[in-house]
A and B are shown apart, each in its own frame.
Chain A
Amino acid sequence: MAAVELRKLCFRYAGSEKQALSGIDLTVEEGESVLITGPSGCGKSTLVRVLMGLIPHSYPGELEGEAYVFGMNVKNTPVSRIATRCGIVFQNPDNQLFTFSVEDDVAFGPENLALPPDEIGRRVDEALRLVGIEHLRHSSPNNLSGGEQQKAAIASILSMKPSLLIFDEPTSMLDPSSSASLIQRIFELKRSLSETGGKTTVIIVEHRIDLLLRHLSRIVVVSEGRVVLDGDPMKVLEESFRRGIPINIPPLLQIYFRVREKCGLKNPPATVKELASMLGGGGSKNG
């Protein structure tokens, strides 16, 4: 059973003239690490809202086509049920923490599921450990930095033990070092979860491709409500470059794609140093 199965998915928000999604076909298998990217307004956030069932249950509109998450039909499964298999972390760290301590926020989900207090305790401990914020257990959300708040939000989703983790532009409000740290943490925890059995799938919606590139198994490019590219990260980036699709191709690759043929380069460089030496060195730092 696939984690996500979308077929000819179309959606228009109530009261809007524009189609937000115009026929999305997407299958995500368990264990994948997928980036969904595309220019602003392409429908990425709408797409992940469907995955959680927020569309159509919280956001009215016309939803056509098929959407299945772990075999559950999104159209007639309540969000609270989907939430037992999928979790989502949103952009704004502040609005995802509602209590006065991180511990209580992490316990919030399991409390809603009416789990016994000992079980909740175990899950809270585990979630805090996985995200590496045990030291923030008693902190108040107001006193945390943006990056710490996002980690707390992740922990509060992990305590529900989802198999699919969705991140909707999690770093857009963070500074570069917090962003790098958060992305690192996300993929470390994906590894830890996989080690304890059961595959965890990660779907990230992001603009900042360079931070994520080495962790991804797949990139999906959405434009104007449709999937325009889907596959191996390097191939997708190169094709986007060729077609002029305005996504954030990392600067190193921007240059690589332009010069590779003429200079006969075989593999993409991982650092500026590598690029320089591939092109024959001669920099002020070399030789």
Chain B
Amino acid sequence: MVKIVVENLYYRYPEALDYALKNISFRIEEGESVAILGENGAGKTTLAKNLNGLLKPTEGSVKIDGVDTRSLSVAKIARKIGFVNHNPEHQFFAEKVEDEVRFGLRNFGFSEKEADKIIQEVLSVFGLEEYRGRNPFQLSGGEKKRLAIASIMAWRPEALIVDEPTIGMDYAQKLNIRRVLRSIVSEGRCVIVITHDVDFAASICERAIVLSRGEVIGDGRLRDLLSDDKLVEKSSLRKPFLIELEEETGLTGLEEDFDAISSILMEVFQKCRS
């Protein structure tokens, strides 16, 4: 299983004067679920691209299983660490949904027979079977997102980085994406979610790395970090609803299920009344 070690990472874009990332260090172990949080321009996507080799550090290092990314090609890293862009339409080029899934498999040397089997499985797991022969561009927003993730998960990378999975999604679509990501986490894979949506992050990730202006201002258990008022303010984020509720009611361990929360609250309320 994959291990990512980032040491004193500095990154500067070629034509830029300032560093986009400054002195970043952390380790991500196998199977962790990490949210990378921060306001727009904090450097989240830049960091993610340094993790999968699309960008190579200006100073410092990123090591995947002990090997420096500078000595690895993007394709080699991609086999272990999948990256899902925030815009699924930046990847669609096949005429049929199934061929979108086939693309990665072909690139990584799977035989046609193996590929067929995997495609069948993957489409079924992601609820896209009925769209198999359809043109990817004809799918709805949520289906496109699922297809993008499916086409990456097809070659079973040990880690998955997802950039802004909930942009433009309505409530039902968000729940779907959440279900998909949670199942990937439960398989023991490492999932790194880049997002602004603190509630979404809280419902999937154990750990959070908070960026502000290119620096890490918080790294630890998500719930702990986002209960810290000062940190929340400094990063221009918001406290997740569940955490706020826990703080105001004194309850703990609330999960995002409104029916469950409501039953708990009603019980507490009955107790208070009596």
Contacts and interface: CB of A to CB of B under 8 A. Distances in A.
Interface stretch (B122-130, B166-174, B181-189, B211-219): B166-174
A285 interface: yes
A169 interface: yes
A177 B236 contact: yes
Nearest to A176: B196
Contacts of A71: none
A41 B265 contact: no
Interface in B231-274: 236-238, 241, 244-245, 247-250, 258-259, 261-262, 265-266, 268-269, 272-273
Interface string A274-287: 01100111111110
A207 B249 contact: no
B258 A283 contact: no
B171 A246 contact: yes
Given A40-B170, A176-B196, A279 B272 contact: yes
Report the contact-size class of chain A (Cβ under 8 Å from the partner). Answer: 35 or more
A255 B248 contact: no
A280 B245 CA distance: 13
A207 B166 CA distance: 12
B116 interface: no
The secondary structure that dominates the B interface is helix
A118 interface: no
A195 interface: no
A279 B245 contact: no
B17 to A, nearest CB: 14
A280 B269 contact: yes
Contacts of A207: 169-171
Contacts, number: 95
A283 B269 CA distance: 12
B249 A246 contact: no
Contacts of A173: 167-168
A46 interface: no
A251 B249 contact: no
A282 B250 contact: yes
B31 interface: no
B220 interface: no
Interface residues of B, number: 36
Nearest to B240: A251
A285 B248 contact: yes
A248 interface: yes
B41 interface: yes
A276 B269 contact: no
B169 to A, nearest CB: 8
Given A258-B259, A281-B272, A286-B248, 11 more contacts: A40-B141, A41-B140, A91-B168, A177-B39, A207-B171, A251-B241, A263-B269, A279-B268, A283-B250, A285-B247, A285-B248
Interface of B: 39-41, 140-142, 167-173, 196-197, 199, 236-238, 241, 244-245, 247-250, 258-259, 261-262, 265-266, 268-269, 272-273
7 contacts: A169-B168, A172-B167, A178-B40, A255-B261, A259-B265, A276-B249, A283-B248
Interface of A: 39-41, 91, 145-146, 169, 172-178, 207, 246-249, 251-252, 254-255, 258-259, 262-263, 272-273, 275-276, 279-286
Complex A-B, nearest 9 residue pairs according to Cβ-Cβ distance, in ascending order: A280-B272, A276-B248, A258-B262, A283-B248, A246-B172, A283-B250, A175-B40, A272-B244, A254-B258
